[in-house]
């Protein structure tokens, strides 16, 4: 059994409104948030009950030079649905 089995990996780039799809954004700009922080994503996933596991020392492969970190969450929804829900939760906490 792989250690990531049953988990989805969420990189901050997936939610970042300021990145293009080619740079890693996975949701629409309307759904995305501006410069999501590692801690914000962790808190949002925790609030949604997704049992997040933080890995702050990881680098997104498309921008390997920055240590943005990643969050592993339970695989309960489609990846894009989970990302949209996390982005919506961040918007709610930011007050947008």
27-50 per-position pLDDT tens digit: 999 999 999 999 999 999 999 999
What is the reported pLDDT for 95? 81
37 belongs to a structural domain: yes
User: Residue 51's domain is classified under what CATH number?
Assistant: 3.30.56.30
Q: In the chain, how many domains are there?
A: 1
User: Does residue 1 lie within any of the structural domains?
Assistant: no
Structural domain contains residue 61: yes
Q: Rounded to two decimals, what is the model's pTM?
A: 0.88
Summarised one tens digit per residue, pLDDT across range 48-69 is 999 999 998 898 888 888 888 9
53-88 as b/e: b if 16+ CB within 10 A: ebeeebebeeeeeeebbbbbbbeeeeeeebbbbbbb
Instruction: Answer yes or no: is 87 within a domain.
Output: yes
What domain range is 68 assigned to?
Answer: 7-94
Q: Is residue 2 part of a domain?
A: no
Residue 25 has pLDDT above 50, yes or no: yes
Q: Is residue 25 part of a domain?
A: yes
The answer to whether residue 86 is domain-embedded is: yes
């Amino acid at each position: 059994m792989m250690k990531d089995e049953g988990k989805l990996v969420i990189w901050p780039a997936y939610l970042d409104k300021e990145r293009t799809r080619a740079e890693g954004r996975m949701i629409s700009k309307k759904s995305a948030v501006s410069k999501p922080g590692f801690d914000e994503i962790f808190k949002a996933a925790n609030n949604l009950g997704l049992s997040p596991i933080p890995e702050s020392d990881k680098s997104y492969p498309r921008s390997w030079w920055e240590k943005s970190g990643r969050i592993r969450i339970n695989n309960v929804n489609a990846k894009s649905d989970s990302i949209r829900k996390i982005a919506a939760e961040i918007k709610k906490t930011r007050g947008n």
